[in-house]
Structure 1
Amino acid sequence: MTGLHERHLAVSPEWLALYYRHPLELTHGEGRHVWDADGNRYLDFFGGILTTMTAHALPEVTKAVAEQAGRIIHSSTLYLNRPMVEMAERIATLSGIPDARVFFTTSGTEANDTALLLATAYRRSNQILAMRNSYHGRSFSTVSITGNQAWSPTSLSPLQTLYVHGGVRSRGPYAGLSDEAFIRACVADLEDLLGHTRNPAALIAEPVQGVGGFTSPPDGLFAAFREVLDRHGVLWISDEVQTGWGRTGDHFWGWQAHAEHGPPDILTFAKGIGNGMSVGGVVARAEVMNCLDANSISTFGGSPITMAASLANLSYLLEHDLQGNARRVGGLLIERLRGVTAASPAVREVRGRGLMIGIELVKPGTDEADPEAAAAVLEAARAGGLLIGKGGGHSTSVLRIAPPLTLTVAEAEEGAAILADALLAAG
């Protein structure tokens, strides 16, 4: 155990998890690579939990941060803030939400917390519909709507949460159905649930479940849900903390795979837009955003320095068509991964879209999740020079792969080869 690890254990909560038997201290990065304190170089396929979205030490972002830091770092929302207004204008347009208003926070948790505040105030209800296997943050309100038990440490809640089928396509009672039948069954379940509730405020859903193991429903499910929700006046919150900004390749936002009835009422974002800076936010149409009848500010949300970073990052992403790169290179990567895992009895499924890919591991010959195997592959991949993540529903048995969106074809091939070796070594 290193001295830094010992110091970490002495002052940190026991529940603050670290990856690896011998935890890493990352000291610097460049492009899609990072280096640890011992000088080892790694290909980064996790990006600080999908947060380093474009690249490590992207010159355009580091320059914007340095220049803004030389002027003013902080002011709060009590003063006019040009970078915040400029960023809000761009996000309002990109969101697809009519007459959109944008409120910035410092994290995805805080963004979802704000969305819950808006929805419950607007609808005058504390009932929330959420998806099974979901994850929405670590605050008191967001753990209470999280459908993944491993990430929900308390049953106490300011909200009454009811869970809906549909976030996981290949497990559960509807797994054997066709996509069309799956959607019909989930809609029928939602209709039945609403028949037993008073006045739900909103349905919150990740278009692709992140911590849950990169699971997703068939395209169109949330459009079908929206028809039902609209009849009951229930708002739709799309949690785009992990799916936003083109990561899924096919779409700029995850909700656009379910776009038949237009955008969500509320959209939340965070992680990748700051490329490592602490940025989150909420977009909602003015009627919903302006429903609060008490004062509110944000001390750190929308700070000049984080907005400068986000503006530079967003400009780079759009100018270099990183959504298109996620589609092209991500498509190649998922096919390579399916190829190298096809003969492995421990791999149940390789799934995902764009640069958001999950490999689900099971005990060979069964459908039983195998978190020990996932941990072993994580270690073996690190030994081979590759950093990945893990997650999943009932246990952390899914390898999570989400490189920066500038990933090259050569790096995708390299990462797939290391993963193939890691699966062989761990098996």
Structure 2
Amino acid sequence: MTGLHDRHLAVSPEWLALYYRQPLELTHGEGRHVWDSDGNRYLDFFGGILTTMTAHTLPEVTKAVSDQAGRLIHSSTLYLNRPMVELAERVASLSGIPDARVFFTTSGTEANDTALLLATAYRGSNQILAMRNSYHGRSFSAVSITGNRSWSTTSLSPLQTLYVHGGVRNRGPYAELSDERFIKSCVGDLEDLLGHTRGAAALIAEPVQGVGGFTAPPDGLYAAFREVLDRHGILWISDEVQTGWGRTGDHFWGWQAHADNGPPDILTFAKGIGNGMSIGGVVARADVMNCLDANSISTFGGSPVTMAAGLANLSYLLEHDLQGNARRVGGLLIERLRAVGAGSPAVREVRGRGLMIGIELVKPGTDDADPDAAAAVLEAARAGGLLIGKGGGHNTSVLRIAPPLSLTVAEAEEGAEILGEALHAAT
């Protein structure tokens, strides 16, 4: 592995991060497990950053990819594409957005770029409202609306971005308030902010902040925001790159936890729909999607092969009720992890819903983030045969747990046990 690592360092940017002191080469996977180049087997609780949504090498998906690749790999959006139309029809129907139109991209970053393009063109404004601690991708425009300092690589921007309270429930000036007063205070902050602006284009928000450490506001916050936004004609973009497709268990989309007054104007998605294939996309009502007055195509978005994978993966997800499995098994897993966390003074909070769970680590007896402890637990979990992620808005001190949605009860129990031992050993 040292040889491959050296080769990686010789040709890759210094900022291209790798997990672990001794980086890992994954060679194959099956179900919820992966193997490395030394033959070690791991229970995968991160799924390539929440992307292996159903299972590794799911037969239905690999067959769909193989069959389509044997017919036609590429065409671009300049030609009719049956798999793309069929997947767009299903996504439009599932989105909840009336008279929906769907545009496919190759990543969540590109999907959010497209949403920003649509919103700014539709509103004639380059002013964007975003949430503190947020993450929306690594492109120039997506970085410029990212409210997480660890992932915001430049202060230069084509957009004027203003940040709103509410994405983090347990830190900040409103943390001690009740949920009702928290929402009221965040809405008041938004209204005050809008009193100092000139016609913002949109608010973009993750229903659960992914890179930010799986933080979320109380249910209903974005519905309350929506009432304010509607009065000003401002669009609501729901970034569902990590929360979509039933991962939170309770809902198919994250926005549905805030659904008192209907769906967002624009919804973005990526990651899990392709189960590892490069699919992202934007859903918007027709008048918003059709507002562009210049030519636009996609060379790789909507590829016949990736669309075939997305169709097979989505069908499997729905037919096997993986949203329900995320709710049931995720509920069990979070209970086990809270029991584990109660025995560790380094654990500030275990939070999440469905199979989207975060464990926030701090220096014992304080509220100070402890990124060194998070890194140590990551290493110890790997040594025990478990792969997890990390993130957070306070120096990457949150363990991120997001297994494939087909996780079994036995695997949840096994993962919780390994993680408990890792926490004990590392903190």
Counting only pairs closer than 5 Å after superposition, residues 281-296 of structure 1 correspond to structure 2 as: 281-296=281-296
> What are the superposed Cα offsets for residues 2-22 of structure 1, whole Å, 9 maximum, x if unpaired?
100000000000000000000
| Cα distance in 2 between the residues matched to 1:394 and 1:296 | 39
Residues 245-297 of structure 1 deviation map (CA, whole Å, 9 limit, x = unaligned): 00000000000000001000000000000000000000000000000000000
- Counterpart of 2:209 in structure 1 is 209
1:394, CA displacement in angstroms?
A: 2.1
TM-superposed CA distance for 1:341, in Å, is: 1.3
Aligned twin of 1:396: 396
Question: Residues 372-383 of structure 1 correspond to what in structure 2 (within 5 A)?
Answer: 372-383=372-383
Q: Deviations over 1:158-216 (max 9, x none)?
A: 00000000000000000000000000000000000000000100000000000000000
Which amino acid is 2:173 matched to?
A: P
Matched AA of 2:168: V
SS at match of 2:259: helix
TM-score by length of structure 2 reads 1.00
Name the CA distance, whole Å, in 2 between partners of 1:269 and 1:138. 15
Tell me, in whole angstroms, the C-alpha distance in 1 between the residues paired with 2:171 and 2:36.
Answer: 38
Identity, % of aligned positions = 90
Deviations 1:201-243 (A, max 9, x none): 0000000000000000000000000000000000000000000
Question: Once the two structures are superposed, what CA deviation does each residue of 1:99-144 show, in whole Å capped at 9, x if it has no partner?
Answer: 0000000000000000000000000000000000000000000000
> 2: distance between equivalents of 1:374 and 1:149?
18
**Residue in 1 aligned with 2:340?**
340
Paired residue for 1:240?
A: 240
Give 1:164's aligned amino acid: V
Q: Which aligned pairs between 1:112-131 and structure 2 lie closer than 5 A?
A: 112-131=112-131
SS of residue matched to 2:29: strand
The match for 2:20 is 20
RMSD over equivalenced CA pairs, Å: 0.4
Counterpart-to-counterpart distance in 1, 2:322 and 2:343: 32
Aligned mates of 1:197, 1:240 — CA distance in 2: 27
Match of 1:252, SS state, is coil
Return the letter of the residue paired with 1:54: T
CA–CA distance in 2 between the matches of 1:319 and 1:57? 18
CA distance in 2, matches of 1:131, 1:142: 13
Match of 1:195 in 2: 195
Per-residue CA deviation, residues 327-366 of structure 1 (Å, 9 max, x unaligned), is 0000000000001110211000000000000000000000
Aligned to 1:79: 79
Alignment-derived partner of residue 275 in structure 1: 275
Where in structure 2 are there 5+ consecutive unaligned residues?
none
Structure 1 unaligned spans of 5+? none
What is the aligned partner in structure 1 of residue 49 from structure 2?
49
Instruction: List 4+ stretches of structure 1 deviating above 4 A.
Output: none
* Correspondences of 1:18-167 after superposition (within 5 Å): 18-167=18-167
Question: Who is 1:177 aligned against?
Answer: 177
1:362-400 CA deviation, whole Å, 9 max, x = no partner?
000000000000000000000000000000002100000
Q: In structure 2, what is the Cα distance between the partners aligned to 1:12 and 1:343? A: 41
Partner Cα separation in structure 2 for residue 278 and residue 180 of structure 1: 40
Q: What is the TM-score of this pair, normalised by structure 1?
A: 1.00
| Cα distance in 2 for residues equivalent to 1:185 and 1:230 | 18
**Paired residues for 1:317-396 under 5 Å:** 317-396=317-396
Match of 1:422 in 2: 422
